[in-house]
Amino acid sequence: MTMTRNANNHVTRTLALVALLLPLALAAEVTAVSDAGFSIKHTVSVEQDPDTVYQAMTRIGQWWNPDHSWSGQADNLYMDASIGGCFCERLPNGGGVEHLRIIYLAPGKQIRFDGALGPLQGMATTGRMLWVIDPTDSGSDITFHYHVMGFMEGGFEGLAPAVDGVVGEQITRLGGFLASPTE
């Protein structure tokens, strides 16, 4: 019961944080929204080559905002960069959460995931997230696509911009991490 109450409290806090971010998210890029789901897309350009970008992407605990985690601590986030591997998080008392599962892996090019992030896990939704790395003359372009589908009473119009803002923040943080990585 305590774990359920803690999870519900976390969902409530997460939704409150999403509501606070909503004004910022309205300027973000929701590419499609319907009663069945939504799609978002964000791109950032960096000076690093695709292999360096890929290595940084897989060190998720070093750049993902801990405010968008269940534990509130980025050190608890990790990624097993393999087919079937997990973008996961360690929770207190031996608990854990799977944020996304890797279904396609092309080092230096793309990571494709299945799963529902954050409060989407408690809804009748699922998602497909793609992290794509494209080489450029000056480094790499990184694009995050997130396609969420399922059922949500009232539709996805109100939720899509908030999720978009959170995902947009993460790719911005990845770009910042690549600009000044810490080892």
> Tens digits of per-residue pLDDT, 82-139?
999 999 999 999 999 999 999 999 999 999 999 999 889 999 999 999 999 999 999 9
Question: Would you say domain 2-179 falls under CATH 3.30.530.20?
Answer: yes
Please, is 112 exposed, middle or buried when counting C-beta atoms within 10 Å of its C-beta (0-12, 13-18, 19+)?
middle
Q: Give the chain's largest Cα–Cα span.
A: 55
Over 70: is that where the pLDDT of 65 sits? yes
Q: What is the pTM of this model?
A: 0.81
Within the chain, how many helices (H) and strands (E) appear? 3, 8
Cβ neighbours for 24, distance < 8 A, ≥ 6 positions apart: 165
- The answer to whether 139 and 41 have CB atoms below 8 angstroms apart is no
Over the chain, what is the mean pLDDT?
Answer: 86
> Tens digits of per-residue pLDDT, 157-183?
999 999 999 999 999 999 999 998 655
